[in-house]
Chain A
Amino acid sequence: MKTLIQNILDIARLKRVDYADIRIVHRRTEEIGVKNGNVEAFTHDEDSGFGIRVLFQGAWGFASSSKMTKTEMETVFAKALKIARASLKVRGNGVVYPSASERVDQYRTPISIDPFKIPSEKKLNLLLMSDEMMRRNRNVKISEAFMGSYKTEKTFASTEGSYIEQEIVECGAGISATAIDGGEIQVRSYPNSFRGNFATKGYEWIEALALKDHAERIAEEAVQLLYAKPCPSKVTTLILDNSQLALQIHESIGHPIELDRVLGTEASYAGTSFVRPEMVGSFKYGAEIVNVVADATYPGGLGTFGYDDEGIQAQRVPIISQGILVNLLTSRETAHVLGKESNGTMRADGWNRIPLIRMTNINLEPGEWTLENMISDTEEGVFLSTNRSWSIDDKRINFQFGTEIGWEIKKGRLGEMIKNPTYTGITPRFWNSCDAIANKDHYQMWGTPNCGKGEPGQVAHVGHGASPARFRNVQVGVMKGSD
């Protein structure tokens, strides 16, 4: 393999390109889905190939193929160079690509138990048992359990002399119970909606989730929701549990701080950002207690790795400090806009995609409160948990979320359960209304394995650490359309 890679890099140097890199990626995926006692999906995917990125006179070209032979690699290099040459005319000001120091290294996700070495029967039985436990509640009409294991081996090499090998292992699982009655659907999930919670950890992570211990509870809650009262429509105090807060961070902080979005290069698909480069260092993104870091080194985070796909080492970078925006997620090509060097966030979804600026683990630092004190300190409001729906505009200003479940807060106590909770807000206004964040005892990492961006489409695995937090004067209950 090394010889094949070296051959391409030698050709690149001979062709006098500004820069070239090659990534060889081999991915293995195992996913098991169980629904109503049946195995709905049991899949093994294996996929490999390589992608070559060429920078020629300030214009990029990229080509990729699944056929890994010397001839094919040379053909693909030639295609990438041809694309770069063709793009010269329309390259704008041309790419300025600062050099990076040569890195020769290896990184492996530290795991205790390789999920691919666990017998399939064992995994399947865990899911079937959890699924069965949910269906013991006769009002549960759909019970589902999911487990996914992922292993990515990638080799990155560049004309700068870097040669980096990485093995990233991820896994996750979750269960959900759906109760249906009278034209209404209610769903409860554990540990999170949309298939569960994911981490760069081994099978020990799945065991720690203890799916079966929560099956009965979520089944009961799904049924209770059918008969719960609707979320009131009012402006009130909102406390979010850490799983919903993770998605709130993702959508209203994580995406707006991607410098490629800020510079407009995602305009045609995912959108841009209300953030402008000149806001860095002065913009009051949130209240003084709001501190956010981008931490690609956090143990077990779904956005944790050794090096990004430009050969830059994983970093922990402050993004919001005491409420002030202090940095953005950057790449080698974009960081100069801020007068900085890349903070290592370029990742590609496989061999056939180019790296883009992606979130790593975007974490809200814990505060001082206990959740109990936060609730008892709240005269009136709602406590919402577990995401059900999300939507935000193309500049990441106006958001609206729905959660699976909520409870009223009255006079410092959790009150009645409420169904179909929704809330809406304007990003900086919302984060500036944050007046309490729970302490590290309540802190948890949440993996988001479905972050979409780019054309052709790419899915990134990213993480968010959060403790529950409180926000004042939030519009909840945005359901006029369903009258």
Chain B
Amino acid sequence: MTGKEACLRLLKDVVQESPADQTEALLLTEDSSLTRFAKSSVHQHVAEKNRTLILRVVIDKRIAVLTTNFLDRSSIRDLVKKAISIARIQHPNEDFVSLPKQPQPVPEINTFHKNINSLTPYRKVKVINDLFKMVKEKRLQASGSFSNGAVEVAVVSSFGVEAYQRYSDFVFHLIVEKDGGSGYASYVSRDPAQLDIDSLAKEAIEKALRGEPVQIEPGEYEVILEPYAVSELLSFLGYLGFHALAVQEGRSFFCNEFGKKLVDSRVTIYDDGLDPEGLQIPFDFEGIPKQRVTFFEEGVAKGVTYDSFTGNREGKNSTGHGLIAPNTEGPIPINLFMQGGESSLEEMVRSVRKGIYVTRFHYTNVVEPMKAVLTGMTRDGTFLIEEGEIKMPIKNLRFTESVLRALSRVSAVSRDRRICSEGTVYSRRFITGVVAPAIKVDGFNFSGVSAL
């Protein structure tokens, strides 16, 4: 770890070096490792250390962003010069008002657990080896990954913004397979002491042991979606419509719909970077403290997230959802929650006459953005439910469905929620998670089946 003082000192030097009207410097450091296994043997075990500086300069509404991992003094001097020259040749962005002007106090929360350092290569291999033994006893095979990291985020701007936070995290993904059937379980946390490999293995094994999947006809079914599947749908809503840029550009399903009831009243969805049930993040990549934003409150469309750019456009404050510059996608929420309901998962299954139980989705993509129509496949634990009982595993199904339509047909929401994470994203480590319950949907469209 670079440490708070060194990170901020480096960034202050960068900002001081810049003659631009406005300057923002963001530092991301990473010390991470990932162990990957398949067919119950480790085939990849890697480690990485990196520091990345992202410099944003503004000269009379002309903006340039430069990124580098050359952090010596002369490289930084060159970087600033280059940023200024690039900004100068640009046309002013008339929609831009300012980088965040008012430094705000950042909530003090602990997002780093020292024992992340206990996850040495030997320790991780021991955990994985224990898992292999459990799986072997059941004559199954395991694939997955075990990743851990220590990350620092620091922001300094010429307006006096100064923020630093260090994070620890680990993510464990597990797929267990036998005879064409498979089960999935995953866990993410900032504290490695929370890892319970036995229960994780049990969760995946139980699903894989249900036998060889049979094929059923696609069509519209009642469904029980586990939190993993729900979290994927919520993430797409966040990307497509829960942020101000999508609304301002007229491409959000929320356009002209605020205050209207769009989905079932059992559905409340919000973003909260400070809720300890999620992966807490006290401030965004512009150094602005996170605010809770509610998107759906008992089914009614309420609000969206803002960063400084989209907030200034409407004369509103940022809600602390700025992403790494240059962010062309908008202030997409990264701490999504869906409120839990009153049912247990078992009660929900018992209430299904004939339906499908979905553990997770795979390769989901957008078909129609304004209606939030998505398509994707089920994966690693899809079952037929008959007369309130999970009967048998079935071959993976393709769904083509509007998430809004599905959420308007929610008839039960589980009390229990879990945090779900896809883990690392491309190139930079910053783990985010969605906290979701299981839901029951009375009518979900499956348009195809995966079978040769």
Residues on A facing B (Cβ under 8 Å): 33, 35, 37-49, 59-67, 76, 79-80, 82-87, 89-93, 120-121, 124, 128, 141-142, 178, 180, 183-185, 263-269, 271, 274, 349-350, 352-354, 389-395, 397-398, 400, 402, 420, 422, 424, 426, 428, 452, 455-459, 478-482
Q: Is the interface of A mostly helix, strand, loop or mixed?
A: mixed
Whether B66 pairs with A43 at a CB distance below 8 angstroms is yes
Of the candidates A47, A142, A263, A400, which one forms a contact with B251 in the assembled complex, judged by CB atoms under 8 Å apart?
A: A142
Q: Tell whether B165 is near chain A: CB-to-CB under 8 Å.
A: no
In the assembled complex, which residues on chain B have CB atoms less than 8 Å from the CB atom of A264? 38-39, 143
Q: Which residues of B contact A80 (CB under 8 A)?
A: 47
List residues of chain A with CB within 8 A of the CB of B15.
Answer: none
Contacting pair A185 B251 (CB below 8 A): yes
Most buried by B among A93, A400, A428: A400
List B345-398 residues whose CB lies under 8 Å from chain A: 362-371, 373-377, 379, 396, 398
| B169 in contact (CB, < 8 A) | no
Beta-carbon nearest neighbor of B220 in chain A: A480
Question: Cβ of A402: which chain B residues have Cβ within 8 Å of it?
Answer: 367
Whole-angstrom CA separation of A479 from B368 in the bound complex: 9
Nearest B residue to A122 via CB reads: B89
Cα-based distance from A329 to B434 in the complex (angstroms): 36
Q: Inside 8 A of A185's CB, which chain B residues have their CB?
A: 251, 368-370
**Cβ–Cβ contact B426 & A459, under 8 A:** yes
B90 touches A457 (CB 8 A): no
* Cβ contacts under 8 Å, A349 to chain B: 426-427
Given the interface contacts A39-B63, A141-B249, does A389 sit within 8 Å of B367 by beta carbon? yes
- Give every chain A residue within 8 A of B69 (Cβ-Cβ): 46-49, 66
Question: Does B450 reach chain A (CB closer than 8 Å)?
Answer: yes
Residues of B42-85 contacting chain A, CB below 8 A: 42-52, 62-70, 82-83
With A89-B125, A128-B91 in contact, do A46 and B67 touch (Cβ < 8 Å)? yes
Q: Which residues of A contact B338 (CB under 8 A)?
A: none
A40: which B residues are within 8 A, CB to CB?
Answer: 93, 326, 328
23 CB-based A-B contacts, threshold 8 Å = A35-B328, A38-B96, A39-B91, A42-B86, A42-B87, A43-B326, A63-B48, A66-B50, A121-B89, A184-B370, A264-B39, A269-B173, A349-B426, A352-B48, A352-B50, A389-B365, A391-B377, A455-B423, A478-B375, A479-B373, A479-B400, A481-B374, A482-B367
Question: Across the interface, do B42 and A91 meet the contact criterion of CB distance under 8 Å?
Answer: yes
CA distance A417 to B61 in the complex (A): 42
Q: Does B429 contact A (CB under 8 A)?
A: yes
B424 touches A90 (CB 8 A): no
User: Which 10 pairs between the two chains have the least Cβ-Cβ distance?
Assistant: A92-B41, A86-B121, A41-B326, A267-B143, A481-B401, A457-B426, A393-B377, A398-B450, A45-B67, A62-B46
Contact A91 B41 (CB under 8 A): yes
- The answer to whether B451 and A426 have CB atoms under 8 Å apart is yes
CA distance A402 to B369 in the complex (A): 12
**B214 touches A (CB below 8 Å):** no
Interface stretch (choices B29-37, B150-158, B267-275)? B29-37
Task: Say whether A354 contacts B46, CB under 8 Å.
Answer: yes
Q: Are A90 and B449 within 8 A (Cβ)?
A: no
| Cα separation A452 to B44 with both chains bound (whole Å) | 17
Question: Would A481 and B251 be within 8 Å (CB), given that A389-B366, A390-B365, A397-B450 are in contact?
Answer: no
Residues from chain A with Cβ under 8 Å of B51 in the complex: 66
Indicate whether A64 sits within 8 Å of B49 (C-beta atoms), given known contacts A89-B129, A393-B362. yes
A391: chain B residues within 8 A (beta carbon): 363-365, 375-377, 398
Whether A478 pairs with B400 at a CB distance below 8 angstroms is yes
The answer on a CB contact under 8 Å between B89 and A268 is no
Contact A400 B426 (CB under 8 A): no
**CB within 8 A of B405: which of A63, A121, A141, A481?**
A481
Interface status of B310 (Cβ within 8 A of chain A): no
Inter-chain pairs besides A352-B48, A398-B449, A480-B447, 7 sampled, C-beta below 8 Å: A63-B48, A87-B42, A92-B43, A264-B143, A267-B175, A397-B450, A424-B448
Q: B residues touching A (Cβ–Cβ < 8 Å)?
A: 32-52, 62-70, 82-83, 86-87, 89-91, 93-96, 120-122, 124-125, 128-129, 132, 143-145, 147, 173-175, 177, 249-251, 255, 326, 328, 362-371, 373-377, 379, 396, 398-402, 405, 423-427, 429, 445, 447-452
Q: A92-B39, A398-B448 are in contact. Are A46 and B68 (CB under 8 A)?
A: yes
B396 closest partner in A (C-beta): A393
CA distance A392 to B396 in the complex (A): 11
In chain B, what residue has the closest Cβ to A45?
Answer: B67
Instruction: Quote the shortest CB–CB distance from A460 to chain B (angstroms).
Output: 11
Bound-complex Cα distance A47 to B66 (A): 11
Chain A residues contacting B174 (CB-CB under 8 Å) are: 268
Q: How far is the CA of A422 from the CA of B375 in the complex (A)?
A: 11
A457–B367 touching, CB < 8 Å:
no
| Chain A residues whose CB sits within 8 angstroms of the CB of B32 once the complex forms | 456
Q: Is the CB of B46 within 8 A of A424?
A: no
| Contact flag A455-B67 (CB < 8 Å), given A38-B91, A391-B376, A482-B368 | no
- The interface residues of chain B lying within 8 Å CB-to-CB of A482 are 367-368, 371, 373, 402
Which B residues are CB-close (under 8 A) to A89? 125, 129
Q: Is the CB of A120 within 8 A of B89?
A: yes
Instruction: Say which residue of B36, B41, B86, B447 sits within 8 Å of A455 (CB atoms).
Output: B36
Question: Measured between alpha carbons, how far is A120 from B64 in the docked complex, in Å?
Answer: 12
Q: How far is the CA of A347 from the CA of B402 in the complex (A)?
A: 38
CA of A265 to CA of B83 in the docked complex: distance in angstroms? 42
Contact (Cβ within 8 A) A479 B93: no
Q: Which residue of B lies closest to A82 (CB)?
A: B121
B67 touches A452 (CB 8 A): no
Tell me the complex Cα distance, A46–B255, Å: 39
Which B residues are in CB contact (< 8 Å) with A397? 450-452
Residues in chain A near residue B363, CB distance under 8 A: 271, 391-394
B322 to chain A, nearest CB (A): 14
Is there an interface contact between B249 and A142, defined as CB atoms closer than 8 Å?
Answer: yes
> Which of chain B's residues have a CB closer than 8 A to the CB of A47?
52, 67-69
Residue of A nearest to B173 (CB): A268
B288 CB to nearest chain A CB (Å): 20
CB of A182 to closest CB in B, whole Å: 9
In angstroms, how far is the closest chain B Cβ from the Cβ of A358?
14
Residues of chain A contacted by B143 (CB below 8 angstroms)? 264-265, 267-268
CB contact between A42 and one of B64, B370, B447 (< 8 Å): that residue: B64
Q: How far is A390 from B366 in the complex, measured between Cα atoms in Å?
A: 8
Q: Quick check: A393 and B375 within 8 Å, CB to CB?
A: no
Q: Complex formed: what's the CA distance from A173 to B419 in Å?
A: 39
Complex: A53 Cα to B91 Cα, angstroms: 46
Among B66, B125, B374, B375, point to the contact of A87 (Cβ < 8 A). B125
